Structure 1
Amino acid sequence: MTRQLLVGLGLLAAASLTHAQTSSVSIYGMLDIGMRHLPDLAVSEDGITRVDDASRSRMGYRIKEDLGGGLSAFARLEHSLRVDTGQQRDPVKYFDDKSWVGLDHVAYGNIALGRLRSPIDEMTSGSRFEAFEGFSLAAAVGRAGRSDDAWDNGVYYITPSFNGFRAGVGGRFGEGTAHNARGVHAEYTKGPLDIGLAWQVDGETLSSTKTSWGGGMSWRFSAFSLFGTYVRTSDIGATNAGKAYTATLGVRVPAGPGEFRAAARKVDNDRIAGRTSHAGDVDTTHIGIGYHYPMSKRTSINASLVRQTRKTFAASGATATDRQGIGSELALRVYF
Structure 2
Amino acid sequence: MKKSLISVAILGAFAATAHAQSSVTLYGLLDTGFVYTNNQLGGHTYQLNSGSTQNTVFGFKGNEDLGGGLQAVFKLEQGFLLNNGAQAFAGDGFGSQAWVGLQSDAYGTVTLGRQFDVMNDLVGPVTAEFNTWGGSLAAHPFENDNLAANSVVFDNTVKYVSPTLSGVTFETMYSFSNKTEFADNRAYGFALSYVMGPVNLAAGYLQMNNVGDGTGAASTSDTSANFLAQRQRIWSLGGNYTFGPAQVGLVWSHTQLDDVGGVYSFGTGSYLGASDDAAGSLTGSLRMDNFEINGKYALTPALSLSGSYTYTHGAYNGTNPGWNTAMLQSDYAVSKRTDFYLEGVYQNVHGAPADSVLSHAMINTLSPSSTDTQVAVTVGMRHSF
The TM-score range, normalised by the shorter chain, is: 0.7 to 0.9
State the alpha-carbon separation in 1 of the partners of residues 24 and 358 from structure 2: 56
User: Structure 2 residue aligned with 1:162, among 156, 162, 165?
Assistant: 165
Structure-2 change in CA distance of 1:5 and 1:319 (3 Å) = closer
State the alpha-carbon separation in 2 of the partners of residues 151 and 317 from structure 1: 26
Residue in structure 2 matched with residue 241 of structure 1 by the alignment: 285
Structure 1 residue 301, shift from structure 2 partner = 0.9
Q: Is the 8 A contact 1:200 1:213 kept in 2?
A: yes
2:249 pairs with 1:231: no
Structure 1 residue 306, shift from structure 2 partner = 2.4
Residue in structure 2 matched with residue 293 of structure 1 by the alignment: 332
Structure 1 residue 242, shift from structure 2 partner = 2.7
Q: Provide the secondary structure at the position in 1 that maps to 2:120.
A: helix
Structure 1 residue 150, shift from structure 2 partner = 2.6
Structure-2 change in CA distance of 1:166 and 1:157 (3 Å) = same
Q: Provide the secondary structure at the position in 2 that maps to 1:313.
A: coil
Residue in structure 2 matched with residue 197 of structure 1 by the alignment: 203
Residue in structure 1 matched with residue 366 of structure 2 by the alignment: none
Residue in structure 2 matched with residue 70 of structure 1 by the alignment: 69
Which amino acid in 2 is paired with 1:62? K
2:259 pairs with 1:253: no
Q: Provide the secondary structure at the position in 2 that maps to 1:112.
A: strand
Which amino acid in 1 is paired with 2:190? V
- TM-score calculated relative to the size of structure 2: 0.76
Pairwise mapping of residues 112-261 of structure 1 onto structure 2 (< 5 A)? 112-126=111-125, 128-130=126-128, 133-134=131-132, 139-142=137-140, 145-146=144-145, 149-176=152-179, 178-204=184-210, 208-237=230-259, 241-256=285-300, 257-261=302-306
State the alpha-carbon separation in 1 of the partners of residues 358 and 327 from structure 2: 28
State the alpha-carbon separation in 1 of the partners of residues 127 and 356 from structure 2: 37
Structure 1 residue 129, shift from structure 2 partner = 3.2
State the alpha-carbon separation in 2 of the partners of residues 245 and 307 from structure 1: 18
What CA deviation, in whole Å up to 9, does each residue of 1:143-195 have, x standing for no partner?
Answer: 86245933210101121111101112221111127243221111101101111
Structure 1 residue 318, shift from structure 2 partner = 11
What CA deviation, in whole Å up to 9, does each residue of 1:87-137 have, x standing for no partner?
Answer: 1111122322211111111111111111121122223334x5327714667
Structure-2 change in CA distance of 1:121 and 1:91 (3 Å) = same
State the alpha-carbon separation in 1 of the partners of residues 371 and 240 from structure 2: 33
Structure 1 residue 230, shift from structure 2 partner = 2.3
Structure-2 change in CA distance of 1:194 and 1:200 (3 Å) = same
- TM-score calculated relative to the size of structure 1: 0.86
State the alpha-carbon separation in 1 of the partners of residues 113 and 36 from structure 2: 38
Q: What's the C-alpha RMSD, in Å, of the aligned pairs? A: 2.9
Which amino acid in 1 is paired with 2:203? L
Which amino acid in 2 is paired with 1:255? L
State the alpha-carbon separation in 2 of the partners of residues 277 and 94 from structure 1: 43
Which amino acid in 2 is paired with 1:204? N
Structure-2 change in CA distance of 1:285 and 1:38 (3 Å) = same
Which amino acid in 1 is paired with 2:94? F
What CA deviation, in whole Å up to 9, does each residue of 1:40-60 have, x standing for no partner?
Answer: 45x23x321122123321111
Residue in structure 1 matched with residue 106 of structure 2 by the alignment: 107
State the alpha-carbon separation in 1 of the partners of residues 358 and 210 from structure 2: 28
2:88 pairs with 1:82: no
User: Structure 2 residue aligned with 1:48, among 34, 45, 60?
Assistant: 45
Q: Is the 8 A contact 1:211 1:233 kept in 2?
A: yes
Q: What stretches of structure 1 of length at least 5 have no aligned partner? A: none
Q: Provide the secondary structure at the position in 2 that maps to 1:185.
A: strand
2:332 pairs with 1:335: no
Which amino acid in 2 is paired with 1:48? T
User: Structure 2 residue aligned with 1:324, among 365, 368, 373?
Assistant: 373
Q: Is the 8 A contact 1:114 1:155 kept in 2?
A: yes
Structure (1 or 2) with the greater strand fraction: 1
State the alpha-carbon separation in 2 of the partners of residues 317 and 293 from structure 1: 37
State the alpha-carbon separation in 1 of the partners of residues 26 and 158 from structure 2: 24
Structure-2 change in CA distance of 1:9 and 1:89 (3 Å) = same
- Identity level (%): 20
State the alpha-carbon separation in 2 of the partners of residues 169 and 295 from structure 1: 38
Pairwise mapping of residues 306-321 of structure 1 onto structure 2 (< 5 A)? 306-311=345-350, 312-314=352-354
Structure 1 residue 19, shift from structure 2 partner = 1.1
Structure-2 change in CA distance of 1:108 and 1:138 (3 Å) = closer
